[in-house]
């Protein structure tokens, strides 16, 4: 049973826009189904939003990845429409200016502490989304570092990497760091 579902960067620019791919588009229906199931199970769902400003090309990331994407307020910054339809009002999201979110990690740590205080149990945290080899792995490793006893799960069928090879490499990295990969 999952205690928390984190949906990473399922935004237009990563699915159907500037950095989109056939693999990212292919996982959308399954990610939508997973969000619906989480809502039916009363499992909290948190979204991350890659968020850049107009000066993106002058940033370190922009110099290494010179493709403007997820610029705040643009269509590419918004959730992929099918994913957005699955969102309920009040679902929590964290904007992140880079690959991993320390705000997300701090929030998850607070949830884990609260859960442990209430019932003495740890958390099972599931991550899905894009890109497996950049933002999914970065957030998974940040959470694992903050909560080494938490059970982290990544469903490989609900993730897509920049390339299939990089997707597989990221999954192997997560396995090596004791993150369960389905």
Report how many domains make up the chain. 1
Domain that holds residue 30: 4-49+76-181
CATH number, position 161:
3.40.50.850
Q: CA–CA separation, 16 vs 9, rounded Å? A: 12
Across the chain, mean pLDDT equals: 91
Q: Highest-confidence range of 55-64, 120-129, 135-144, by mean pLDDT?
A: 135-144
- The mean-pLDDT minimum among 66-75, 111-120, 159-168 falls in 111-120
What is the model's pTM? 0.93
Q: CA–CA separation, 3 vs 169, rounded Å? A: 27
* pLDDT at site 123: 85
Structural domain includes residue 60: no
| pLDDT tens track for 92-118 | 899 999 899 988 989 898 888 877 655
* pLDDT at site 23: 96
Structural domain includes residue 64: no
SS3 content of the chain, % helix, strand, coil (to 5): 45, 20, 30
């Amino acid at each position: 049973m999952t205690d928390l579902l984190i949906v990473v960067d399922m935004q237009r620019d990563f699915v159907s826009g500037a950095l989109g791919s056939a693999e990212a588009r292919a996982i959308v229906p399954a990610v939508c189904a997973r969000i619906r199931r989480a809502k039916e199970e009363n499992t909290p769902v948190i979204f991350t939003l890659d968020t850049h400003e107009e000066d993106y090309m002058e940033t370190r990331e922009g110099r290494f990845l010179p493709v403007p994407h997820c610029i705040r307020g643009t269509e590419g910054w918004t959730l992929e429409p099918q994913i957005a339809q699955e969102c309920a009002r009040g679902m929590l999201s964290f904007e992140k200016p880079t690959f991993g979110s320390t705000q997300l990690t701090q929030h998850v740590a607070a949830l884990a502490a609260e859960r442990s205080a209430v019932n003495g149990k740890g958390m099972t945290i599931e991550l899905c989304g894009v890109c497996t080899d950049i933002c999914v792995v970065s957030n998974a490793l940040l959470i694992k570092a903050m909560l080494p006893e938490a059970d982290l799960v990544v469903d490989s069928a609900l993730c897509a990497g920049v390339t299939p090879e990089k997707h597989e490499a990221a999954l192997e990295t997560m396995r090596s760091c004791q993150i369960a990969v389905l």
